[in-house]
Amino acid sequence: MNYTAQMGYKIDSYEFGNELCGAGVSARVEAEQYARDTIQVRKAVNELYPDPNSRPKVLGPAGFFDEEWFKKYLEAVGPNVVDGVTHHIYNLGAGVDPNLIHKVQDPYFLDEVAQTFKDVQDVVDRSGTGAAAWVGESGGAFNSGGRDVSHTFANGFWYLDQLGMASTFSHKAYCRQSLVGGNYGLLNSNTFTPNPDYYGALLWHRLMGTGVLATTHDGSPYLRSYTHCTKNQVVVNHALSGFVSSGKCLSLVQTGVTVLLINMDNSTTFNVWVTNDLNIYNEKSESSSLTEDREEYHLTPQGGNIQSDVVLLNGTPLKLTDCGDIPNLPPKYVPASSPVTVAPSSFVFVRIKDFKAPACENR
């Protein structure tokens, strides 16, 4: 840590320990002792990084959630010590489970972990520590993931649903296991080319902002829906060179909402209209008042095979460019008057720029 600070390397956060909380995995530490040691980590970070504007965050305890242990830990650690309360999620079970391919498309099974997210949120919110809940590690299936599932399009049913669910329960970060390594790497371990989940994560990062909106639908449980305020977009305003020396200025604008739709059904197509609950009793619905073409990003597996390593965006395979760069991810533009068509076994990000959500104003 001292060397890293002296070299000026940019560090987002230091996480203390790994899977030592609760019953532990290979070993365990009592909550009170863990808290005392975390306080020492905080002191070291504060000394090494005196400028609070560039100071890395401190995270912990980095293990599986045990409600009583976490309560004792946060009570003992006190306020302004940990920035992120990290817990691990491997709700799909062992990677060798032959039912793994079915689990990732079973909404009832995927719903079971929602209680963990809610319990973590409640414990953190009531702790008075000023910390936020984080998923510090999650690869879906443990022991390096599933050989025929975790690196394929199918894993996106679990992964994108996890991102949506974690956000719904006020988790501020979701750390994927792993970038590279094991069957669950976002990159292929041999070629380092992106696996399908990489592109799902990239679209999430580009489109989904920090404002989370309550979203419901009256359709099949195999259709999942999550909505965020659209992420701030950088707008380049070109100006007359005689007035602005740079010739342009940058501004951040927030426009509308982005909806994520996940169709876990392998045979049913859903047609979705997006409406605002605030207008539910009005004669004119929100969907009918939208006039600007919306952006749609449809992700589907190559050849209709959900265990393919190749993902298509609006029908085009996503592959690195000849220079090894990430390809452009252009949307297709659809008239506002038409429903969103969600094909079987697909994911759709829908950006609606003229959707008026009061919660998204001035974010």
Q: Which residues are catalytic?
A: 19, 137
Q: Give the residue from 101, 108, 191 showing the smallest Cα distance to 152.
A: 101
Residue 264: both structure tokens together: 């876990």
At CA 311, angle to CA 308 and CA 315, rounded to 5? 125
d(CA 310, CA 161) in angstroms, rounded, equals 20
3-state secondary structure of 191: coil
Tell me which H or E stretch contains 238: strand 233-238
Q: Give the residue from 215, 195, 317 showing the smallest Cα distance to 274.
A: 215
Answer yes or no: are the C-beta atoms of 308 and 193 closer than 8 Å: no
Per DSSP, the residues of 298-351 read EEEEGGG-TT-S-EEETTEE----TTSPPPP---EEE-TTSPEEE-TTEEEEEE
Question: What is the amino acid identity at position 133?
Answer: A
Answer yes or no: are the C-beta atoms of 5 and 55 closer than 8 Å: no
Answer yes or no: are the C-beta atoms of 304 and 344 closer than 8 Å: no
Tell me which H or E stretch contains 155: helix 155-168
